[in-house]
Amino acid sequence: MPPSLTLQPIGFVRTQKQVKFQALHQPVETQPERNVLELLPESGYREALHDLAGFSRIWLLWWFHRNTTWRPMVLPPRGPAQRRGVFATRSPHRPNPLGLTPVQLLRVDGLRLILGPCDLVDGTPVFDIKPYVPAYDSFPTENAGWIEEVDTALRSPPEFSVSFAPLAEEQAAWLIEGWSIDFRPRLIELLERDPTPHRTRRIRRRDGITFEIGCGAWRAFFKVKEKQVTVVSLDAAYPLRFLTDPKLTDIPDGAAQIAFIKKWGTAP
């Protein structure tokens, strides 16, 4: 075997997800969502798509392009704070950061594949497309190891209830009305299950009573009393010196964060 192999992307996924926080660990297909796989205009790709429109679902083989390192033991975001072998998880921190995702194929439009919900961020490079064949690709009765225990726990009612203090409500409404930014559903989903500090879920303790959770380009501060979580305030995740640096042009929600800081300030 050669010491390395060379792969070339056949296209790139275009979604509204700019940061990992926006990409759910498993897409919710009951919610409407449209994504696009744009194939490169290489010779033969258009012909290679012949007959694919007859399939309602496809496999995408892709690259975790934002990862540069790997870890043999990882901390999955789901379940208790317990490290597991990376080959027993779907963590992006892999020796070769390859991803495999089944997605709904809604339409083939030239070199553009219109897809349903997916867990990929914008710009993800795709290496291959394969048809999903239910008779061969689905084994619902097989064992899923430690994930079965986590799924059983997730099917139970959430342990915590989440509410927003007046300031957090006002800030959230401002983001929605002025910038169409709403990360509350994902924030609530995480906090109502387990608000305790967790590196992968980006939850940490700020002081004796206040906690912080990273929400992609944003962050939220909250307090916990018994089984009640109260989100106290929201904040931009990036400091102003980064947001105003002309060399950093790809910060997600950059303009919204600058406007937020001008109106609300930022936490120390």
AA identity, residue 252: P
Query: Which superfamily, per CATH, for 11-152?
Result: YaeB-like (2.40.30.70)
- In tens digits, the chain (268 residues) has pLDDT values of 677 888 899 999 998 766 555 555 556 666 678 899 999 998 899 999 999 999 999 999 999 888 888 989 988 877 777 889 999 998 888 999 999 999 999 999 999 999 998 888 889 999 999 999 999 999 988 888 888 887 777 788 888 999 999 999 999 999 999 999 999 988 998 899 889 988 888 899 998 899 999 988 899 999 999 999 999 999 999 999 989 988 888 788 899 999 999 999 987 7
End-to-end alpha-carbon separation of the chain, Å?
Answer: 53
Q: Distance between CA 62 and CA 115 in Å, rounded? A: 15
DSSP H stretches of helix in 6-101: 45-48
Q: Which CATH superfamily is domain 161-264 in?
A: RelE-like (3.30.2310.20)
Domain boundaries, given as residue ranges, for the chain: 11-152, 161-264
The SS3 of residue 105 is strand
| Ordered DSSP codes for 129-152 | EEE--HHHH--TTS--THHHHHHH
- Considering only the C-alpha atoms of the chain, give the largest distance between any 2 of them, rounded to a whole number of Å: 62
